[in-house]
Chains A and B, each alone.
Chain A
């Protein structure tokens, strides 16, 4: 809410500068901004009095003025509509640098000399107002510093938390300012004359359910003349961020901002039945509101009716047909307390929020209803020519009385960590206008005022104590006095070590968005249906993702479009699927995915040509990770499908827990990717679960390593991997390993056959291996290969 300081000063005196006041209010709990950048030219500006003005001989819209400042008299050509003899305004003399590009200079305007400029607010950066030159009060001295005037006329902006409806008003902010400065604020009186037959002879009020509308009060003001508001009122409202409309609407808004109590004004001549009836709307009932839109109502809307005919959505918005128009003379003022819950529902369902609903749904002061009613009547009498009808209606069947709260000092001290005394607390509560009754040395019974609906419990009062004491003044305590908790799993260390390996292998970690289109594209291990968001931001983000790969492809595409084509990405993140049995209706998985594209070895002077990334590069990374974590994941060849041009499944036992392979060009095209991409994704929960820590020293032999090669010719359809797995499964009484070294077809190898060369490494444990022993090993290897794959030694 915008708070115009001259208006605030109508209720309370303070000497703080706008910046100081904003800081103090912020530390008291209402975040307050004062963001007027001090401009260097402010000190050049002068208070000026227009001593004469006449029409420019050559231009209808311009005025020739003589102005007086403390520096002398100047001739000014002015284009503002509001310039007139005797007024005081702000003058920018020759030499003032208003903007970096605009410096005031002596010049001729249509043949007449101008020695400076009378300025509007927007021209010196105070606001967007360009309606006319600034008007200063008549008794502002010519010697007064304009910088000071600007500060006195500043607007500060508050961001009120939802628990403090009282702060959504000038009275509320005056009250907080009074607490800060140890003073009091005073409300204006509401005296005015009343005449005529009592209001009860003309109108009655019937509340269907006092739970919805605990209090409803009204008054009649007659003989009102609708007209533009006086200048001061327009200025107050505009500075507070409210558009000026006419005197009646403006005064109603004035009282709303002043007191925080929303008011509504009806044209009484349009209320035909003589009875105001407050009831819930019927489902499907239609209503034409002030904004000229027709709303379809439900039983969650509270209606103000003329008999049975709705004339306003209670607490939210008035109706088109009963509102004040330019012909209105007889006004019914409504001031009510509506239950916060019903107003919030009502405004939410209609998608209609107003200055009124905002306050009602947070809770206005039920005891402030009458003051606001009387205040508006008084102002209509004073500023709109009205005469007030005798008496008022005040339907308030069950007065709202705040419950007394038991407050223990010991409890406050235990929670805040400060030793407060009874006297201190008493003083805070007095400032807060609480009624306090001391029960014991520790306890008091507290009744907060009705304008503080947020204070219901002891803890609410404890917050008030620390607020008034100042959070800054609570001394920090970093006593390390804690209970150590055991970690239940090694999960995080697995994440860390996997990430470390991936960084070592040149993969960058990405963060991609968890929401995706509705698509089953590229799911690898998640099989259930996806989780739709009922109110998505867009159709591209309408479901919770079921694979990280689309996100990675988008990231690759993003980089390709920026001419970065060598990419290795990985991400560990959450995937989602529907699960009707879960209380969250979803099951979440940790997934581990990656994608690579472009070159493995980039162009460099030391190599003849770059080496492109391949499926086997990715496979090497995955095998390395799996072996490192000692889990029993296996990679098995699988049939290519519409997404994968070549595909392997990552298996854990019989379960497919992931996929890796080469993505199809057509799929990549849909992501705007025109180069080969190799990708994988796996269930990382499974990966973590199956990881076994088997770290235990294996004997390291110092005897020499001996290697022997076999080139084996067999059917070319036999996968090398199968042969390698067979050889790896063999056991010998020494250190043993096997590598695939070469593949060869053609030449002396018959058609349909292929030669595969393997290299076998042996190292004796505790002794040197003899040739005979090694020959024995090699015979065994050949024998199993002959048996399983019908190989012939080449």
Chain B
């Protein structure tokens, strides 16, 4: 058949099909049928090489006209379809959005990350150690003598007589000091274990962040500066701090640090047991016996250490009333933070 005639027929066919199109999908199908690589228009172009020179020219011209008009008509239709959809006033934009599911970082991770980053700002790196520890790293080298009441301060889970679940991350201090030379400045976050009944206020496992700074002339005044910096960055610059003497076997002098209760502003409430103060952190100057146990000369080296729980400040800061909630993983809890 004459190619010109076929072009005309196809044109008519297209027009009728075009007028029958109702949906966007119909137009897309039509576009594929006529304009795709294997479509009707393309197949006509493939026949051009078989024609005589004269026919080639005119057929090429007509085919191009056909292609252009088909392209224009379809794309116009598709566009107007899309436009129509956009300005469809019947669309109720108050309908709820499609829910996007985001996962949430556990609040304890968030708090630990925050603590880590505050100490990173003032030059503390991060060190970690095992949770199953030797008695030496957890107690003896930290100046807890055997048969000393100081050991009663931390109820311990034992694996054997000499191996236990670490009761604090201070054991990491020993590992690092055994391994490296001063100056040392790091924090050690991690899980610790105490053989205590599980209830709303205590759990047999919790998290701690301990810090150590060891160098030639580290002073108690610097310890105060560091702890103050942390507390004000973490709890807000308006909190007041109170250092009071205390006792830890591995530090001397030792201090407990209280911050002014940010819930009642210091006037006394149930949370601060009407004292106006919240106990937040223990700290002190590294005891010379600890330096001796890792082979440092306490006459040459001084240092400070501090340690705090993670759950307690998190509970205070976010009003969490039951420590078990951290471990239950109720998604209503996880999604709140």
Enumerate chain A interface residues (CB-CB to B < 8 A).
26-29, 31, 33, 35, 37, 161-164, 341, 344-345, 348, 361-362, 414-418, 457, 459-460, 462-463, 466-467, 471-472, 474-480, 482-485, 487, 492, 499, 502-515, 531-537, 541, 544, 555, 558-559, 562, 564, 567-570, 574, 576, 583-586, 588, 602, 604-606
Q: A161-B247, A584-B134, A585-B163 are in contact. Are A459 and B288 (CB under 8 A)?
A: yes
Q: A163-B247, A474-B221, A534-B158 are in contact. Are A562 and B98 (CB under 8 A)?
A: no
Chain B proximity of A704: nearest CB distance (Å) = 12
Question: Which A residues are CB-close (under 8 A) to B150?
Answer: 162-163
Q: A482-B123, A503-B103, A576-B132 are in contact. Are A344 and B147 (CB under 8 A)?
A: yes
Tell me if A531 and B302 are in contact (CB < 8 A): no
Chain B proximity of A405: nearest CB distance (Å) = 13
Tell me if A586 and B130 are in contact (CB < 8 A): yes
Q: A37-B274, A511-B106, A511-B108 are in contact. Are A415 and B329 (CB under 8 A)?
A: no
Q: A482-B185, A570-B103, A586-B130 are in contact. List 15 more A-B contacts (CB 8 A).
A: A162-B247, A344-B147, A416-B220, A417-B219, A480-B122, A482-B122, A483-B123, A485-B185, A503-B102, A509-B103, A534-B157, A535-B157, A541-B204, A544-B165, A606-B98
Bound CA–CA A696/B152 (angstroms): 56
Answer yes or no: B287 CB below 8 A from chain A CBs: yes
Question: Which B residues are CB-close (under 8 A) to A511?
Answer: 106, 108-109, 326-327, 329
Chain A proximity of B288: nearest CB distance (Å) = 6
Question: Which residue of chain A has the shortest Cβ distance to B190 in the bound complex?
Answer: A574
Bound CA–CA A31/B153 (angstroms): 15
Tell me if A460 and B252 are in contact (CB < 8 A): yes
Chain A proximity of B321: nearest CB distance (Å) = 17
Chain B proximity of A768: nearest CB distance (Å) = 14
Answer yes or no: B83 CB below 8 A from chain A CBs: no
Bound CA–CA A558/B326 (angstroms): 13
Question: Which B residues are CB-close (under 8 A) to A483?
Answer: 123, 183, 185, 215
Question: Which B residues are CB-close (under 8 A) to A26?
Answer: 244
Answer yes or no: B308 CB below 8 A from chain A CBs: no
Tell me if A558 and B225 are in contact (CB < 8 A): no
**Which has the most chain B C-beta neighbours within 10 Å: A515, A570, A584, A586?**
A584
Answer yes or no: B55 CB below 8 A from chain A CBs: no
Tell me if B220 and A344 are in contact (CB < 8 A): no
Bound CA–CA A567/B330 (angstroms): 10
Question: Which residue of chain B has the shortest Cβ distance to A479 in the bound complex?
Answer: B222
The 5 lowest CB-CB distance pairs between A and B, nearest first, are: A417-B221, A417-B219, A478-B225, A29-B245, A506-B101
Q: A341-B147, A568-B101 are in contact. Are A537 and B198 (CB under 8 A)?
A: yes
Bound CA–CA A462/B247 (angstroms): 14
Bound CA–CA A463/B184 (angstroms): 23
Bound CA–CA A537/B256 (angstroms): 29
Bound CA–CA A763/B256 (angstroms): 67
Question: Which B residues are CB-close (under 8 A) to A555?
Answer: 328-329
Question: Which A residues are CB-close (under 8 A) to B275?
Answer: 33, 35
Q: List 12 A-B contacts (CB under 8 A).
A: A27-B245, A463-B245, A471-B224, A471-B243, A474-B220, A510-B334, A512-B327, A513-B205, A537-B204, A558-B330, A567-B331, A576-B132
Tell me if A506 and B102 are in contact (CB < 8 A): yes
Question: Which residue of chain B has the shortest Cβ distance to A510 in the bound complex?
Answer: B329
A361 contacts which of B149, B165, B186, B195 (Cβ < 8 Å)?
B149
Chain B proximity of A288: nearest CB distance (Å) = 26
Bound CA–CA A576/B163 (angstroms): 14
Question: Which residue of chain B has the shortest Cβ distance to A25 in the bound complex?
Answer: B244
Chain B proximity of A425: nearest CB distance (Å) = 14
B103 contacts which of A341, A466, A568 (Cβ < 8 Å)?
A568
Question: Which residue of chain B has the shortest Cβ distance to A590 in the bound complex?
Answer: B128
Chain A proximity of B213: nearest CB distance (Å) = 8
Secondary structure of the B contact surface, majority rule: mixed
Bound CA–CA A200/B322 (angstroms): 63
Tell me if B242 and A472 are in contact (CB < 8 A): yes
Bound CA–CA A604/B148 (angstroms): 64
Question: Which A residues are CB-close (under 8 A) to B152?
Answer: 162
Question: Which A residues are CB-close (under 8 A) to B19?
Answer: none
Answer yes or no: B160 CB below 8 A from chain A CBs: yes
Bound CA–CA A348/B155 (angstroms): 13
Answer yes or no: B273 CB below 8 A from chain A CBs: yes
Chain B proximity of A698: nearest CB distance (Å) = 28
Contact with A along B60-86 (1 / 0, CB 8 A): 000000000000000000000000000
Tell me if A416 and B219 are in contact (CB < 8 A): yes
Answer yes or no: B200 CB below 8 A from chain A CBs: no
Question: Which B residues are CB-close (under 8 A) to A513?
Answer: 205, 327
B256 contacts which of A31, A345, A463 (Cβ < 8 Å)?
A31
A414 contacts which of B134, B165, B217, B288 (Cβ < 8 Å)?
B217
Tell me if A584 and B221 are in contact (CB < 8 A): no
Q: A535-B158, A537-B204 are in contact. Are A414 and B302 (CB under 8 A)?
A: yes
Answer yes or no: B253 CB below 8 A from chain A CBs: yes
CB-CB contacts below 8 Å: B6-25 with A: none
Tell me if B109 and A509 are in contact (CB < 8 A): yes
Tell me if B228 and A478 are in contact (CB < 8 A): yes
B246 contacts which of A161, A460, A502, A541 (Cβ < 8 Å)?
A161
Question: Which residue of chain B has the shortest Cβ distance to A570 in the bound complex?
Answer: B103
Answer yes or no: B332 CB below 8 A from chain A CBs: yes
Question: Which B residues are CB-close (under 8 A) to A29?
Answer: 244-247
Answer yes or no: B210 CB below 8 A from chain A CBs: no
Q: A511-B108, A511-B327, A604-B98 are in contact. Are A487 and B125 (CB under 8 A)?
A: yes
Q: A515-B205, A585-B160 are in contact. Are A27 and B242 (CB under 8 A)?
A: yes
Question: Which A residues are CB-close (under 8 A) to B98?
Answer: 604, 606
Contact with A along B274-292 (1 / 0, CB 8 A): 1100000000010110000
Tell me if A462 and B253 are in contact (CB < 8 A): yes
Question: Which B residues are CB-close (under 8 A) to A163?
Answer: 150, 247
Contact with A along B187-213 (1 / 0, CB 8 A): 000010101011000001100000001
Bound CA–CA A414/B153 (angstroms): 30
Answer yes or no: B126 CB below 8 A from chain A CBs: yes
Tell me if B252 and A514 are in contact (CB < 8 A): no
Tell me if B255 and A504 are in contact (CB < 8 A): no
Chain A proximity of B234: nearest CB distance (Å) = 15
Chain A proximity of B52: nearest CB distance (Å) = 25
Tell me if B123 and A484 are in contact (CB < 8 A): yes
Question: Which residue of chain A has the shortest Cβ distance to B191 in the bound complex?
Answer: A514
Bound CA–CA A126/B192 (angstroms): 39
B273 contacts which of A33, A459, A506 (Cβ < 8 Å)?
A33
A588 contacts which of B132, B229, B328 (Cβ < 8 Å)?
B132
Tell me if B330 and A509 are in contact (CB < 8 A): no
Question: Which A residues are CB-close (under 8 A) to B157?
Answer: 533-536
Question: Which B residues are CB-close (under 8 A) to A512?
Answer: 327, 329
Bound CA–CA A87/B330 (angstroms): 61
Answer yes or no: B99 CB below 8 A from chain A CBs: yes
Bound CA–CA A534/B159 (angstroms): 5
Question: Which A residues are CB-close (under 8 A) to B103?
Answer: 502-509, 568, 570
Question: Which residue of chain A has the shortest Cβ distance to B224 in the bound complex?
Answer: A476
Q: A504-B103, A537-B197, A541-B204 are in contact. Are A588 and B130 (CB under 8 A)?
A: yes
Bound CA–CA A471/B217 (angstroms): 19
Tell me if B132 and A584 are in contact (CB < 8 A): yes
Question: Which B residues are CB-close (under 8 A) to A484?
Answer: 123
Answer yes or no: B226 CB below 8 A from chain A CBs: yes
Question: Which residue of chain B has the shortest Cβ distance to A341 in the bound complex?
Answer: B147
Question: Which residue of chain A has the shortest Cβ distance to B161 in the bound complex?
Answer: A534
Contact with A along B159-185 (1 / 0, CB 8 A): 110010100000000000000000111
Bound CA–CA A505/B326 (angstroms): 22
A533 contacts which of B165, B253, B255 (Cβ < 8 Å)?
B165
Bound CA–CA A534/B221 (angstroms): 43
Contact with A along B243-264 (1 / 0, CB 8 A): 1111100001111100000000
Bound CA–CA A27/B275 (angstroms): 13
Tell me if B329 and A559 are in contact (CB < 8 A): yes
**Which has the most chain B C-beta neighbours within 10 Å: A415, A463, A479, A605?**
A415
Question: Which B residues are CB-close (under 8 A) to A559?
Answer: 329-331
